[in-house]
Amino acid sequence: MSATERLRGNEELRREGVSLVVDTLLRRKLADYVDVSGLTRIVLSSVREDLVARGLEEHVRPGVARLYARLKTVPVGDLLPEATHSRLTELAAQTPFPRFVWAKDTIDPSLFRKLFAPSLQEWLLQFLGRLPGVGGLAGAFAKRMGGGGVRERLGAITGEFSRSAMGSLREAIASRLASDEGQEVLAEIRRQAFANTLAVPVGAILDDWAPLPWDDLAAIAPEVAAGFVKTQLAEAWIREELEAFLAVEGEKSVEMLAEEAGVLPEVRAYFRVQGEALIETLLADPRFSSWLDQLGIAR
């Protein structure tokens, strides 16, 4: 009886062989699986414009859309264990917001004046329009207001206006931003901010976030992560993404994926080297030798 026939007819022997291979794989050090030079070549060769575009179109964008649809009505607090709420609230109260010092000179202040001056002008005109005697001299204004009661009357008018002032200002600004000229100024601000940000050292941007309590957040992060993965939301999300990925790529073999990426020769060579090392480890294991003896294979 050949070794193949013995394996086909002996389920226990097959399981023993599988266990030997799996145990050997698990015992090997991670560094034994990683050839930095070989993996670097594979990664660099596989990052092509067409593959990145396909990955974004078939996986990233649909995944983001699915995540948005799942989370858009979920309160942020539901994503965090309730036990962490008070600690995060206290951190928020004590943490200074980044000052974005690096962005100070990225936009010409005159653009903001150009954008908001008409809104402020309209707002002030609304206020002045409620003042009796506006446009006249101070004396005429005082006479119309009844002389000695000018201060009291003016205080009443400004108090009444202040109660609706913020609403009026918001409406004026919203109207300005929606206007054609406002949109043009906003576009100019965005272009200028981006162009000037290109010259900002990355370190300056990172320094802005340095004062955040990273150590405290890191201390809470494990509890947050562990709490999240126990939720039905996390389970459903992970399952949905795995199913979506397999729906697109599941019928492809590793060989097909490597060939599609244009790195099949490199991948094959890489796995052959790893396979040779695995065989050497197995052959040095007395249990594997005993298993081969049961198959009747000469060592």
pLDDT digits (tens, 9 = 90+) for 69-95: 999 999 999 999 999 999 999 998 888
**Which burial class, exposed, middle or buried, applies to 294 when counting CB atoms under 10 A from its CB (0-12, 13-18, 19+)?**
middle
Q: Using 50, 70 and 90 to split pLDDT, how confident is the model at 126?
A: low
Q: Quote the tokens at residue 92.
A: 């928020």
CA distance linking residue 126 with residue 256, whole number of Å:
70
Q: Using 50, 70 and 90 to split pLDDT, how confident is the model at 135?
A: very low
Predicted TM-score (pTM) above 0.75: no
CA distance linking residue 109 with residue 104, whole number of Å:
10
Helix, strand or coil, per DSSP, at residue 100: coil
pLDDT over 70, % of the chain: 85
Q: Using 50, 70 and 90 to split pLDDT, how confident is the model at 158?
A: low
pLDDT of residue 138: 43
CA distance linking residue 190 with residue 194, whole number of Å:
6
Which alpha helices (H) appear in 146-263, and where do they start and end?
A: 150-178, 180-197, 202-209, 214-229, 232-249, 254-260
Q: What is the mean pLDDT of residues 277-296?
A: 88
Could you identify the residue written with the tokens 């609230």? 89
Q: Quote the tokens at residue 18.
A: 């599988």
Q: What is the mean pLDDT of residues 228-236?
A: 90
Q: What is the mean pLDDT of the chain?
A: 84
CA-to-CA dists, residue 114 to 99, 176, 184, 251, 262, angstroms: 24, 11, 11, 58, 53
Q: What is the DSSP letter of 95?
A: S
Helix, strand or coil, per DSSP, at residue 97: coil
CB distance 282 to 24 below 8 Å = yes
Q: What is the DSSP letter of 127?
A: H
Q: Using 50, 70 and 90 to split pLDDT, how confident is the model at 185?
A: very high
Q: What is the mean pLDDT of residues 37-56?
A: 91
Q: What is the mean pLDDT of residues 217-230?
A: 92
